[in-house]
Amino acid sequence: MLHSNSIIGLAAMSKAALMALIVLSISGCQLDTSTPKDPSIMADLPQPPTPEQRDHVVKAPGGDRVDPWYWLRDDERQDQAMLDYLEAENEYKEAALAHVSELRQTLFEELKGRIKEDDSTVPYFDRGHWYYTRYESGLEYPIFARKPDHLDADEEIVLDVNVQAQGHAFYSVGDMDISLDGRHLVWLEDTVGRRQYEIVFKDLDSGEVSSTGISGVSSVVYSADPRYVFYVANHPETLRSWQVWRLDTEASKDDPNRQVLVYQEDDEAFYTGIDRTTSDAFVAIFVSSTVSSEMQILRADDPTGEFTVFYPRRRDHEYDADHLGDRWIIRTNDNAPNFKIMSAPLDEHANKAAWTEVIAHDPDRFIHGFDAFDSFLAVSERSNGLRALRILDWDTGESSLMSFDEPAYAAYLGTNVDQSATTLRYVYTSMTTPTQTWEIDIPTGTRRLLKQVEVPGGFDAADYRTERTWAEASDGTAIPVSLLYHRDTALDGSAPLYQYGYGSYGASMDPTFSTSRLSLVDRGFVYAIAHIRGGQEMGRAWYEQGRLLNKKNTFTDFIAVTDHLVETGRVDPDRVFAMGGSAGGLLVGAVVNMAPEKYRGVIAHVPFVDVVTTMLDESIPLTTNEFDEWGNPKDETYYDYMLSYSPYDNVVAQDYPAMLVTSGLWDSQVQYWEPTKWVAKLRATKTDDNVLLLHTNMEAGHGGASGRFRRLEQTAMEYAFVLDQAGEHADE
């Protein structure tokens, strides 16, 4: 398993810490449990925008389709009529939410008030420095810092993102790396939100920052020689990461050998990345599709050498590997759908006959990854839907699963960069336990809590309850559900429900802690995570049962979870809310077509809803890599199946719930026109008077606003919308 070195690990920690630090206060406000408001109260609003319809035919081998709102697509984001429409929708949204403006502000202050503004991550030691990330009161962005040798030394600022973000409405740091001599920093920055990063360098001795002008980049890493940096460039049209370049940082910009192309991935189903092994001995190119992967390796101290294939790619074979001493540790799904762990001699990686088994395949246990140490192996695995850790002793070959007490939780590998260590760092969290960083001494089994994310404002885990329940899908499959609610909330059918799901790409939604959801839970909501098929919560088969021609299981599973929570008398059937984002937006978009009567409100963040048209257009970013996820609509079988559930294509004249849809103008993953067209079609077709709102962030992309406080504004808007629809009429 590839691991990043210190500063990449630091960046990853900062993102995790940032999510953990988005916290909010426990409100004493009680939810008004009166009958939900009559939609007619929206009658005094101005008329919503109604974009014109223009003739357009989307041609396909499976049949032509008319799309009168296709004109809203503008790849350059410059069409004035389109921009005017988005602005009109934003204005209408504000008018529709004007009566909850005070509630929005109250919620924002709650969310912000639960952030410990001057917090920092747990330092870790790597190549002579202690690295950590910290935040200062009132500032939006993290500060990456380090101290030489010991924690009492003077602090060195590696990168103050607040300084770099000055003058930018949007700013995001992507990949980062520090040279092995500790003197140079390279990072990727995005000032638009489209995730087409530019390479920037910093001399850590002098503090000098220099831009390269090289943009459209997705990842970057130093070789052992700080003169050479490898980076991955994206295709200019499809934005697919496809080329690996070697950059000579000492060459002049007009030197033709300054940048050398060392690899190009021509298969449009594959994406490309680059990193170093945990040992820092190798630079590795890795390419992956939905069902296959391949690595190429190069000695880090031979940057001008040739990359060699670790093991040749084969369809339906996924693997990754990390270097440990005189061998490779390999995670592979070769004849092992849930993956197994193998070992290979250093120079025998391409000879599968030389691979030996370390941990066998288990149909009841899915292996996510590992950290390899000299004396032990730490494995991240999942069984019964829960993420846990297994420790294997190299000397004895025996392994044991670490135990935890709560019914629903998640335990992850932490930042482990020293392969000679006899301790393991890991992260533990649950829906009632703020993120904890632990260290376990492997020889003795002694565990030590290094840090628990502090939740200001009097948070007490004892005020909350979490449980695991199981819903029965339409085909009899048991679907795990994680619940969170306040101890004073009676599960007697009176509580409103906020249900979240994703169910795509094999991504598992774990029952982790979130302070933002407390704003709903403290007001009497039951919060549910539906672990539906399409993820890998129950192993690889769980994913296979929720993709391609099995995709509808994802949607019916979600509906089955709703039915289960209603029919068991836990929640109020008249106040059920569904939320999903991106592919989860596709989920709720399909669900709202299939069973609109079951939901009071739906929130769809950057939703992938125009499935067929997008998958027919290979010029759109992500399309070619997605054929193994959704199917290729040029094949009539897949075309017909995708068309049968595509949310945009299945809007019909029926009553829909109240809906809030969000989008980002510069989104490179789900183009802004998908949610925009969907809202336009819903407006022209639906038969109800329920409010339908479109919020487009004109300065951001898929991830929304940058900055730890600014992004809370959208959460406050969403929760105000939900609380209003649930019956919280009065401003606070």
pLDDT at 657: 98
Contacts of residue 403, defined as CB under 8 A and 6 or more positions apart, other chains included, come to none
Q: Are 220 and 175 in contact (CB under 8 A)?
A: yes
Q: What is the pLDDT of residue 209?
A: 92
156: three-class secondary structure by DSSP: strand
Cα of 676 vs its chain's centroid, Å = 22
- The percent of residues in the chain predicted with pLDDT above 70, rounded, is 92
- Name the nearest CA neighbour of 515 among 715, 243, 666: 715
Once rounded to an integer, what is the mean pLDDT over residues 360-379? 97
What are the C-alpha distances in Å from 267 to residues 264, 293, 506, 618, 684? Answer: 9, 12, 22, 13, 41
* Cα gap 156→140, rounded to integer Å: 20
704 has a pLDDT exceeding 80: no
Q: pTM for the full model?
A: 0.88
| Amino acid at residue number 179 | S
- Please check whether residue 209 is in contact with residue 202, taking contact to mean a CB–CB distance below 8 angstroms: yes
pLDDT, tens digit, for every residue of 277-307? 999 999 999 999 999 999 999 999 999 999 9
pLDDT tens-digit readout, 386-414: 999 999 999 999 999 999 988 889 999 99
Residue 238 makes CB contacts below 8 A (sequence gap 6+) with: 268, 618, 619, 620, 621, 622, 623, 624
Q: What percent of the residues of the chain are helix, what percent strand, and what percent coil, each to the nearest 5? A: 20, 30, 45
User: Side by side, which strands form the sheet with 129-134?
Assistant: 124-126, 129-134, 143-148, 156-160
Q: Which of 568, 464, 447, 574 lies closest to 520 in space, CA to CA? A: 464
d(CA 276, CA 242): 18
CA distance 626 to 518: 35
Question: What does the DSSP assignment read for 553-591?
Answer: HHHHHHHHHHHHHHHTT-EEEEEEEEEEETHHHHHHHHH
Question: Which pLDDT value is given to residue 168?
Answer: 87
- Is residue 35's pLDDT more than 60? no
More confident position, 45 or 545:
545
Residues 6+ apart with CB under 8 A from 583: 502, 503, 504, 505, 608
Strand intervals (E) in 487-556: 495-500, 526-530
Question: In 424-582, which residue ranges form alpha helices assigned H by DSSP?
Answer: 518-521, 540-544, 552-567
Mean predicted confidence (pLDDT) in 453-474:
94
Which residues are bridge partners to 243 per DSSP?
A: 233, 264
Q: Please tell me whether residue 605 adopts helix, strand or coil conformation.
A: strand
pLDDT computed for residue 458 by the predictor: 81
d(CA 68, CA 55): 5
pLDDT for residue 700: 65
Residue 23: pLDDT above 80? Answer: no
The pLDDT mean for the chain works out to: 90
Kindly list the distances between the CA atom of residue 301 and the CA atoms of 29, 209, 228, 280, in Å, as whole numbers in the listed order. 61, 26, 10, 9
Distances (CA, A) of 292 to 269, 287, 315, 625: 9, 8, 5, 11
Phi, psi angles (nearest 5°) of residue 590 = -70, -40
Locate all alpha helices (DSSP H) within 128-287, ordered by sequence. Answer: 161-164
Q: Span 231-248, mean pLDDT?
A: 92
Band of residue 37 on the pLDDT scale cut at 50, 70, 90 = very low
pLDDT band at 730 (very low <50, low <70, confident <90, very high): very low
For residue 449, the SS3 value is: strand
pLDDT digit string (tens) for 550-589?
999 999 999 999 999 999 999 999 999 999 999 999 999 9
Kindly report which listed range (16-25, 73-82, 368-377, 677-686) carries the lowest average pLDDT score. Answer: 16-25
Which tokens hold the place of 669? 């993953």
Dihedral Cα 209, 214, 220, 226, nearest 10 deg: -50
Comparison of pLDDT for 5 and 704, the residue scoring more: 704
Give the span between the Cα atoms of 630 and 590, in whole angstroms: 14
Domain 460-610+647-726 indexed as CATH 3.40.1350.10 = no
- Cα(189)–Cα(269) distance, rounded to whole angstroms? 26
Assigned token pair, 135: 């935040």
Distances (CA, A) of 73 to 11, 67, 84, 613, 634: 34, 11, 13, 12, 22
Catalytic residues: 582, 667, 702
Q: 396-410, 687-701, 704-718: lowest mean pLDDT where?
A: 704-718
Average pLDDT for residues 332-347, to the nearest whole number? 97
Give the whole-number percent of the chain exceeding pLDDT 90: 80
- Taking 90 as the threshold, does the pLDDT of residue 721 lie above it? yes
H or E element, residue 276:
strand 271-276
Q: What is the pLDDT of residue 30?
A: 33
- Would strands 658-664 and 692-697 be described as parallel, antiparallel, or unpaired? parallel
**What span, in angstroms and rounded, lies between the C-alpha atoms of 503 and 159?**
36
Determine how many CB atoms are found less than 10 A away from the CB of residue 634: 14
